[in-house]
Structures are given as structure tokens and as C-alpha cells.
Copies of this chain bind each other. A is one copy, B any other.
Amino acid sequence: MTVKIKDVAKRAGVSVTSVSRVLNGEKYVSEDILARVNEAIEELKYSPSHIARSLKKQKTNTIGVIVPDLTSNFYSTILSSIEENASKYGYNLIVCNIAENLSKELKYLYIFQEMRVEGIIIMHEKTNDDIVSFIQNATMPILFSSVKSPDPTFMSVLIDDYQAAFDATEYLIDAGHTAISYLGGDLQDITSGQSRYNGFRDALIKHKIAINPDYIKFGDYKLPSGQALMKELLQLSNRPTVVFAASDDMAVGALNCALDQDLKVPDDISIIGFDGSTITNIVRPAITSMQQPIYEMGQISLESLHKLIARPKTQQKTDIVLQHQLVIRDSCKKIN
């Protein structure tokens, strides 16, 4: 039996006119009705011929997402949250993995434009003049998620990386640590790299703890770099008592390096991560981490982009700064 528009209306508890308005992509439909109709379409498996028809009407209901690295647990978790929330609003999600390559990013942005996506979410921090120029001339809304927009007139959904790193460092100082190592990411990343390092540094300064240059090392946020930098740290005659890794993947790398050298974490050395990726809870000991609200970040990014798409003129484009939160697990001990 073919599902008809009136079946969708009945299931959604709305009028046929309302369903029709949703299907035709009219902008002034309430979010409640939009959500109910899309749910009914999903449940009844309303026919693909209709979807094809709506595509022909030039209303694509599609959002493009630029991801720097799909193998990162952090990005794949935000992406799942964006995907889940996009479904609620009836958007399709097209994901392009740029493998941290700016010329790929630019190419995919042009493809998104050609596809007539209705909005774009970018999760990549590095940029160049061509990309900034694309963004400034784009005809659809663009939002930055988890990173700061290179152009202040575009909206970002992110945490306060400086404050989060500052707070994580103060937690370590409060726990009695003074020999604190910092394994950082790329200092050219203004939000994640630079701000996190500055937060760490300023917390030490505030508490009059001297920075030991041997304890400060920079990698690329990925697991192997955490492992390699930890190896260097463990060769020091005067080891730190705790390692603050600027990403959870680096924290796991550091953890494995310590465990593989038969050290006990946190008895012999403490480790704290940053991001709140699920990996922190998978390894043993589970890693204490300064958590970004990853699920919420995906949800709010999608909802904010939806608002920009529906009512582009009436929206403020100020950043949304979400609250970071320290999640204490088993990798950090008090030494006072």
C-alpha cells in the first residue's frame, strides 16, 4: 500500500496543508510541526518519488559539513550529534573529510555550492585567503563548530579554550602538583593550540610556579605524538608528576607509553586530557579530562544553522560559548 500525504498528516496530527508546506520547503513552518511531520515521514517510509520531486524543486534540505579528520573520535562524535539533530529537522547531511588539506577544503566548499546545500558547518580551524573569500561571498549560511571562525561576522559554536585549560591547570595545582608538563598541539591554531597553551601558562604564573621548558612539548593532537613526547619526558632525570595533554588522543598516547614502560598511572605519574572524547572512558585507567560538551556542541551547531537558514535576516551572528567541564576519572592523583 502506497503511503499518501494524508497518511503522513494523520500520523503527525496536523493538516494536509501543513504537511504540504513542510514538503514544499516553505520557510515559515513552526519547528514543532516540522519535527512532527518529518518524524511521520520517517516512520511511514513516505515514498522516495516524493523526495525526488522535492529535489527537483531546488529545495535540497541538505547541509554540508567539512571535517578535518574522520578518524578522530572527537569529530566523529560531534558529527553523530549533528546527524541525529539534522534528521529531526529533515535535513540530509553530506560530509566531506578534508584530511587537514586546505585545497581539498576549498574544492569541497565549491562542490557544496554547486549542490545548492542550504548551509555549511566547518569544523576545521586552519584557513587561507581563498577559503575566507569563499565564505565572505557565500550565498548560504556558514557556521563554525568547535573552532573559531576566521571572520568575526560568522558564527562559531565553541568552548572557551583558554579558560578551560586554565581551570584544568588550577585543578592540578590544587591537587599539589608543581612539576607539570604540557603536551600541546599546533600553536598556529588560534583557538585550540594557542589559547590552551596560554591558559596553562597563565595558571602557572598566577600561582607563581616556574615553567620548566623541558616539560613543554608540542605535537599534533594525535595519539602517536602523545606517545613520542611522553617517551622524551620519561627520559628526564627530573620527571614531572603530571602530564597535561591538550587532546585526549595525546593523553592516551602518553598513557600507553607509561604503561608500556611498566609505570603505574596515576601512582607513578598522573595524566589529564582535554576534549571529553569517548576514548577517555574506554582505556584503563579511565582518563580525567577537561570535557567539551561534544553532543551539545553538535546539537546547538545544527539548531543555530537551522535558524540562520530559516530566517537569515533576523539572526544575530554572535558566537555561542558552551560550558567546559572537568570530568574526574582515574588517571590523576592528589599529592598534597
Chain A interfacial positions (CB closer than 8 Å to B)? 42, 45, 48, 51-52, 55, 60, 62, 70-71, 73, 76-77, 79-80, 83-84, 87, 92-97, 99, 103-104, 106-108, 110-111, 114-115, 130, 134, 223, 252, 256, 259-260, 278-279, 282-284
Verify A62–B111 contact, CB threshold 8 A. yes
Contacts of A71 in B (CB 8 A): 73, 76-77, 80, 278
Verify B83–A92 contact, CB threshold 8 A. no
A-B contact pairs, 6 of them (CB 8 A): A71-B73, A80-B97, A87-B99, A87-B104, A92-B108, A223-B282
Contacts of A115 in B (CB 8 A): 115
Verify A114–B52 contact, CB threshold 8 A. yes
- Bound together, the chains give a CA A71 to CA B76 distance in angstroms of 5
Contacts of A42 in B (CB 8 A): 103
A55-B111, A62-B111, A256-B284 known; A97-B106 Cβ under 8 A:
no
Q: Which 7 A-B pairs have the closest CB atoms?
A: A95-B95, A55-B114, A71-B76, A70-B76, A259-B284, A45-B103, A83-B97
Verify A96–B99 contact, CB threshold 8 A. no
- Bound together, the chains give a CA A51 to CA B76 distance in angstroms of 28
Contacts of A84 in B (CB 8 A): 99
Verify B94–A93 contact, CB threshold 8 A. no
Verify B110–A52 contact, CB threshold 8 A. yes
- Bound together, the chains give a CA A107 to CA B111 distance in angstroms of 19
Contacts of A104 in B (CB 8 A): 87
- Bound together, the chains give a CA A110 to CA B56 distance in angstroms of 11
Partner of A48, one of B83, B106, B283: B106
Contacts of A110 in B (CB 8 A): 48, 51-52, 55
A45-B103, A107-B48 known; A282-B284 Cβ under 8 A:
no
Q: Smallest distance from the beta carbon of A92 to chain B beta carbons, Å?
A: 6
Q: Smallest distance from the beta carbon of A139 to chain B beta carbons, Å?
A: 14
Verify B96–A95 contact, CB threshold 8 A. yes
Contacts of A284 in B (CB 8 A): 256, 259-260, 283-284
Verify B93–A97 contact, CB threshold 8 A. yes
Contacts of A60 in B (CB 8 A): 111
A104-B87, A130-B48 known; A111-B92 Cβ under 8 A:
yes
Contacts of A94 in B (CB 8 A): 94-96, 111
Tell me the nearest residue of chain B to A111, going by C-beta. Answer: B92
Q: Smallest distance from the beta carbon of A42 to chain B beta carbons, Å?
A: 6
Which has the most chain B C-beta neighbours within 10 Å: A97, A110, A223, A260?
A97
Q: Smallest distance from the beta carbon of A106 to chain B beta carbons, Å?
A: 6
- Bound together, the chains give a CA A55 to CA B104 distance in angstroms of 15
Given A84-B99, A94-B94, A256-B282; 17 other pairs, CB 8 A cutoff: A45-B103, A48-B130, A52-B110, A55-B111, A62-B111, A71-B73, A71-B76, A79-B97, A87-B104, A92-B107, A92-B111, A93-B97, A94-B96, A259-B284, A279-B282, A282-B282, A284-B284
Contacts of A52 in B (CB 8 A): 110, 114
Contacts of A80 in B (CB 8 A): 70-71, 97, 99
- Bound together, the chains give a CA A144 to CA B319 distance in angstroms of 42
Q: Smallest distance from the beta carbon of A196 to chain B beta carbons, Å?
A: 23
